[in-house]
Structure 1
Amino acid sequence: MFQEYDVIVVGAGHAGCEAAAAAANMGSKTLLVTMNMQTIAQMSCNPAMGGIAKGQIVREIDALGGYSGIVTDESMIQFRMLNKSKGPAMWSPRAQSDRMLFALKWREKLEHTPNLDFYQDMVKGLLVKDNRCIGVITGLGHHITAKAVVLTNGTFLNGIIHIGEKQFGGGRVAEKAASGITEQLVELGFESDRLKTGTPPRVDGRSLDYTKMDEQKGDDEIVGFSFSDTKKIKPEQQRSCWITYTNQTVHDTLKTGFDRSPMYAGRIDGVGPRYCPSIEDKINRFAERDRHQLFVEPEGWNTVEIYVNGFSTSLPEEVQYEALRIVPGFENVRFFRPGYAIEYDYFPPTQLQYTLETKLIQNLFFAGQINGTTGYEEAACQGLMAGINAHLKTKEKEPLILSRSEAYIGVLIDDLISKGTEEPYRMFTSRAEFRTLLRQDNADLRLTKKSFDFGLASQERMDAVLNKEREVKNILNELNNFNISPEEVNPLLEKIQSASLTQKQKAGQLILRPDISLAYLLENVPRLQSIFSGNKKEELEQAEIQIKYNIYIEKEKELVAKMNNLEHLSIPQNFNYTNIPALSAEARQKFIKIQPRTLGQASRISGVNPSDVQILMVYMGR
């Protein structure tokens, strides 16, 4: 019934979809196994993609040839570029999506991907021989063989759903949990643990009074996520989101259910996400605050269903309902379904290599929440990297590994395997020490050539990047050679209270001023405008960023060069750390467990001191 596959991907969430698409598009005969063909690319939590640091990840996925950016552009109902008041390193795209359209577009993409087959069944075990994964065993008893397997099980591994004092098995509401894999992996020597996440109630938008809320419209310009020419909605077509607030009475009502909360009653062992806490957790942790912000988000174009972002909870249904009715605009609210918490198995990611292949079993890759992350974007980028590296492993080619200075994806993977995580890991701009280099606007310039060389990004993508590089270079040359006279520009400078010119100045020098933008000059200096009339907005923006932030960019490049000195010092495989008595006990224990690949990685392991790295360097003969 089944042929032998190159790659089998287990699970069709965001990680699974990207993994399957990447492996298949690179030429691997791929099978995507899911428990339910109707929930491929389901947005289990909020109907949105991107946000702070997450938007950068989606753009990196797109630059590498993944589909998350394209699908988001094709299904968005609102777009916003966050942090525009800050420097470009902080700009982060975010889109509200039509939940059903998002899943439909993903399925269409997958069904049009050559080399990709689908099968609906639960995977209950792995085929392992001589410490190599050679396939999967399904619930119906099928043994399907493959050269590599990617596990992207999300919250389904022994998932338990909690609503107040009620609890039942499930990987998502109304969907059964998956069992068998954790038990087998633990038997094989893997370490597993439990994590928790939660989701808010879904409500009927017809029962809300929006006049009591603040409207949050989309941007006047829709930049989107994909560097390709995807069709996007027009700004005037966007759906609004809304903002309202809890109050002290809401908090007091929620507290009446705390004694029946699974979190406080000790029925949940797993640790929840610190940066996306439940409403009851917010009330406890931030007791001094008398209100918390709620985002009222539409679920799509043709539905009245509303997602109450910020009201994640596992309290009893009646407490959720009574408390929500006190929120301004929610006085007559009707529930579609209550919020709930879900507890599930994950495997501490220190058990992985940089490729996301497990250290214990060859040809077995983990991606997504199984590695302790939270968020669609974090899962999707892991899926993409696991899919790429699974394909490369089966073809006996060098892997694709992104460093911390090359991509947010590199930061995420390095954090996971070097430091591990004991709570759901979420990406932030503050986690990236080189965020001036890792901007959302230059993801294509950073990553597309790498992906093209590995056979994923298309020739069309590569040509677009080469053209962009050429055009940006030409714009920079023009700006650094174009003289602007005092007569041309002084009236403009006086208007914005900027120092007047006493002699001619290059346009590039003028743009260095914080109060002068390239757009402002083009608007007001006709001679300049005529030169760049044929350039795209993103090309002009890229050139301006490179001029304005050149000092900071160069400084970060110097830091990267210094860091790379340690990154290039490889540690021999199976290095014997027990022979180094001068190492601290904690460093020795961590080195033996994690088996760092380079001195750079060793230096980033939690609990390792600079002196430990120096001692290691001496023993390696450096």
Structure 2
Amino acid sequence: MFNEVYDVIVVGGGHAGSEAAASAANMGSKTLLITMNLQNIAQMSCNPAMGGIAKGQIVREIDALGGYSGIVSDTSAIQFKMLNKSKGPAMWSPRVQSDRMRFAEDWRNMLEGTKNLDFYQEMVSGLIVENHKVVGVKTSLGISIKAKSVVLTNGTFLNGLIHIGDKNFGGGRAGERAATGITEQLVQLGFESGRMKTGTPPRVDGRSLDFSKMVEQPGDAVPEKFSYLDVTKPLTKQRSCHLTYTSNEVHDLLREGFDRSPMFNGRIQSLGPRYCPSIEDKINRFADKDRHQLFVEPEGWNTVEYYVNGFSTSLPEDVQFRALRSVVGFENVKFFRPGYAIEYDYFPPTQLQHTLETKLVEGLYFAGQINGTTGYEEAGSQGLMAGMNASLKVQGRDPFILSRSEAYIGVLVDDLITKGTEEPYRMFTSRAEYRTLLRQDNADIRLTPKSFEVGLASEKRLKRMEEKHEKAEAFVEFFKETSVKPEEINPVLVDNDSAPMTQSDKMFKIFSRPNITIHDMRRVSSVDDYINQHDLDREEIEQAEIQVKYSGYINKEKNNAEKLTRLENIKIPKNFDYSKLQSMSTEARQKLNKIQPVTISQASRISGVSPSDVSVLLVYLGR
């Protein structure tokens, strides 16, 4: 069946695997996507949503690079919200509620429409490795398929174990079997492995809920979208979510089952996601709180299934049922299925290079939850980078690596490779030092030219970005060059409690005032005329407004990023022996020898490496 040698084989069809297969194929590599069930490509295993705080920035970066997640999020959206709009633009984060079934269907259709991409449904049980280099995979049917590179995106399926109360059974997701064989082989090859866990809430029948007792959570009045391309349009109708709360009565009912909870009785030892705790964990950790929020999220346009966000649990199903029936609006709730926890194997990501290629086996890449991350967005971005770099390696080209000052994806990968993780890693805006530069509105300006240069982003995407950038920059120049008279602008200033002008001044200076918006400036006829004459759209106007109002902060961060880049340019010789630097702390020598950083900047971010250790290294390298 498989006589040809593939350039790239992607194992796993989740969010990481789908993006990896798409990016490798779109860069011209002959690619095979192998997954255990082709009906579940890009399945939303947990909540039916994409984006959110920092995660929305990642989806826009994936889109800017030429990935599919942004487009599919738009085509399957049932609600759009721009979170943190009351804060500065560095914190704005897009998020959509998704139609779960349509999301997977649209992903499958896009992948099937991708050239150079083949599909095969079966479990990969092992790798074919020769002289520390991967040359293919073996399936559970004993079929060997040759490849020049392999991307593993196994999600929660590696020796997955599902827990519901005191019951447990093998599985990678509800209703699907676990994957076996790969972990054991990788450990034999010298890889270090570990266990993590995650959980998911019950799914319930919306016909049994009383939404009149809950608080409605509608989408934005003027919804936007994820993709920078014009292939999708903003939503014209939306579905609402709803908000309700737990209570002390609910908490007491849940506590009755704690002795049967695998997390509390010791059967689950692995760590779960700190920032998405189970309901029993929240009750235990925040004992002073008498209630917790529950967001009731529809699973699609035409289904009555709802996701109970905030009620992730592995408690016995009878305890889940009794407790949830005590929640306001859930008095008559019927379950589609109970919540559960799942344990799975992962591999500490310090064993990878910044390309996501493993250090031990050439041509082998890891992406997604196998690296200890959590979240569709984090997984998709890793898949995209792994697919790109696998393709570039096969083609004999330089790797594609994003720095911390270029993208949230750069922060994510650098954090994993440099610091590792002992609990499921989730992206936050606070993890990025340069979040004023890494906004969701400018991801295309930051990344599309880089991606186009290596052959992933299309020319259409590049031209769309260039037009937006040029129009926004010209609009900024208009404000810098154009003066406004007091009689024109003072009515605007007075209405906004801002000090009136006594003489003419440049519009840029007026617009820079914190309480003056573009809507205020459009009351000046020359501004409104400029927008209409140059046919500026929402993105172009927003880009110009941010550049005007935050120019000081942006320039400061650019200067700081340039300083970081200078350290990035100081390379450390490959396989450098840190044990000979006795002036360093023992911990620093051990960590540096294990991780083998590529640059001084990366070395400085490793936990346990102090500034004095970096100084010793700089002196030794002749600085």
TM range (shorter): over 0.9
**Counterpart position of 2:284:** 284
Per-residue CA deviations over 1:408-451 (Å, capped at 9, x if unaligned) read 00000000000000000000000000000000000000000000
Q: Say if 2:528 is the partner of 1:563.
A: no
Write the letter of the residue equivalent to 1:176: R
Alpha-carbon offset, residue 577 of structure 1: 1.0
For 1:477 and 1:176, locate their aligned partners in 2 and report how far apart those are by CA, in whole Å.
Answer: 59
For 1:528 and 1:193, locate their aligned partners in 2 and report how far apart those are by CA, in whole Å.
Answer: 59
**Counterpart position of 1:346:** 346
**Counterpart position of 1:441:** 441
Write the letter of the residue equivalent to 1:538: E
Alpha-carbon contact 1:73-1:230 (below 8 Å) kept? no
For 2:496 and 2:517, locate their aligned partners in 1 and report how far apart those are by CA, in whole Å.
Answer: 12
**Counterpart position of 1:122:** 123
Q: Say if 2:195 is the partner of 1:194.
A: yes
Alpha-carbon contact 1:76-1:233 (below 8 Å) kept? no
For 2:478 and 2:583, locate their aligned partners in 1 and report how far apart those are by CA, in whole Å.
Answer: 58
Write the letter of the residue equivalent to 1:399: P
For 2:44 and 2:553, locate their aligned partners in 1 and report how far apart those are by CA, in whole Å.
Answer: 38
Gaps of 5+ in 1: none
Structure 2 length-normalised TM: 0.99
Write the letter of the residue equivalent to 1:100: M
**Counterpart position of 2:467:** 467
Alpha-carbon offset, residue 509 of structure 1: 1.1
For 1:493 and 1:222, locate their aligned partners in 2 and report how far apart those are by CA, in whole Å.
Answer: 29
Per-residue CA deviations over 1:287-311 (Å, capped at 9, x if unaligned) read 1100000000000001000000000
Alpha-carbon offset, residue 519 of structure 1: 2.2
Q: Say if 2:280 is the partner of 1:272.
A: no
For 2:99 and 2:268, locate their aligned partners in 1 and report how far apart those are by CA, in whole Å.
Answer: 32
Paired residue secondary structure (1:402):
coil
Alpha-carbon offset, residue 497 of structure 1: 1.5
Runs of 4+ in 1 over 2 A off after TM superposition: 230-235
**Counterpart position of 2:308:** 308
Write the letter of the residue equivalent to 2:416: L
Per-residue CA deviations over 1:336-379 (Å, capped at 9, x if unaligned) read 00000000000000000000000000000000000000000000
Alpha-carbon offset, residue 487 of structure 1: 1.1
Map 1:111-510; keep pairs closer than 5 Å: 111-235=112-236, 237-510=237-510
Alpha-carbon contact 1:77-1:233 (below 8 Å) kept? no
Write the letter of the residue equivalent to 1:267: R
For 2:280 and 2:312, locate their aligned partners in 1 and report how far apart those are by CA, in whole Å.
Answer: 8
Alpha-carbon offset, residue 97 of structure 1: 0.3
Paired residue secondary structure (1:89):
coil
For 1:395 and 1:110, locate their aligned partners in 2 and report how far apart those are by CA, in whole Å.
Answer: 22
Write the letter of the residue equivalent to 2:492: L
Paired residue secondary structure (1:167):
strand
Paired residue secondary structure (1:229):
coil
Structure 1 length-normalised TM: 0.99
Alpha-carbon offset, residue 230 of structure 1: 2.9
**Counterpart position of 1:551:** 552
**Counterpart position of 1:75:** 76
Q: Say if 2:100 is the partner of 1:99.
A: yes
For 1:528 and 1:587, locate their aligned partners in 2 and report how far apart those are by CA, in whole Å.
Answer: 57
Write the letter of the residue equivalent to 2:455: G
267-276 vs 354-363, which moves further: 267-276
Per-residue CA deviations over 1:566-615 (Å, capped at 9, x if unaligned) read 11110000111111111111111101110000110000001111111111
Alpha-carbon contact 1:346-1:370 (below 8 Å) kept? yes
Alpha-carbon offset, residue 233 of structure 1: 5.0
Alpha-carbon offset, residue 269 of structure 1: 2.0
Alpha-carbon contact 2:79-2:235 (below 8 Å) kept? no
Query: In structure 2, do the counterparts of structure 1 residues 531 and 232 end up closer, same or farther at CA, with 3 Å as the change threshold?
Result: closer
Alpha-carbon contact 1:196-1:273 (below 8 Å) kept? yes
**Counterpart position of 1:525:** 524
Alpha-carbon offset, residue 224 of structure 1: 0.9
Alpha-carbon offset, residue 186 of structure 1: 0.1
Write the letter of the residue equivalent to 1:528: V
Number of equivalenced pairs:
620
Paired residue secondary structure (1:441):
coil
Write the letter of the residue equivalent to 2:336: F
Fraction of identical pairs, as percent: 68
For 2:372 and 2:527, locate their aligned partners in 1 and report how far apart those are by CA, in whole Å.
Answer: 52
For 2:152 and 2:241, locate their aligned partners in 1 and report how far apart those are by CA, in whole Å.
Answer: 35
Per-residue CA deviations over 1:262-291 (Å, capped at 9, x if unaligned) read 001111121100000000000011111000
Alpha-carbon offset, residue 485 of structure 1: 1.1
For 2:517 and 2:254, locate their aligned partners in 1 and report how far apart those are by CA, in whole Å.
Answer: 49
Paired residue secondary structure (1:197):
strand
Gaps of 5+ in 2: none
For 2:251 and 2:316, locate their aligned partners in 1 and report how far apart those are by CA, in whole Å.
Answer: 14
Paired residue secondary structure (2:118):
strand
For 2:294 and 2:53, locate their aligned partners in 1 and report how far apart those are by CA, in whole Å.
Answer: 18
Write the letter of the residue equivalent to 1:71: V
Alpha-carbon contact 1:405-1:437 (below 8 Å) kept? yes
**Counterpart position of 2:11:** 10
Paired residue secondary structure (2:147):
strand
Alpha-carbon contact 1:136-1:144 (below 8 Å) kept? yes
Alpha-carbon contact 1:196-1:343 (below 8 Å) kept? yes
Paired residue secondary structure (2:441):
helix
For 1:521 and 1:550, locate their aligned partners in 2 and report how far apart those are by CA, in whole Å.
Answer: 17
Write the letter of the residue equivalent to 2:306: I
For 1:276 and 1:248, locate their aligned partners in 2 and report how far apart those are by CA, in whole Å.
Answer: 21
For 1:228 and 1:220, locate their aligned partners in 2 and report how far apart those are by CA, in whole Å.
Answer: 22
**Counterpart position of 1:574:** 575
Write the letter of the residue equivalent to 1:575: F
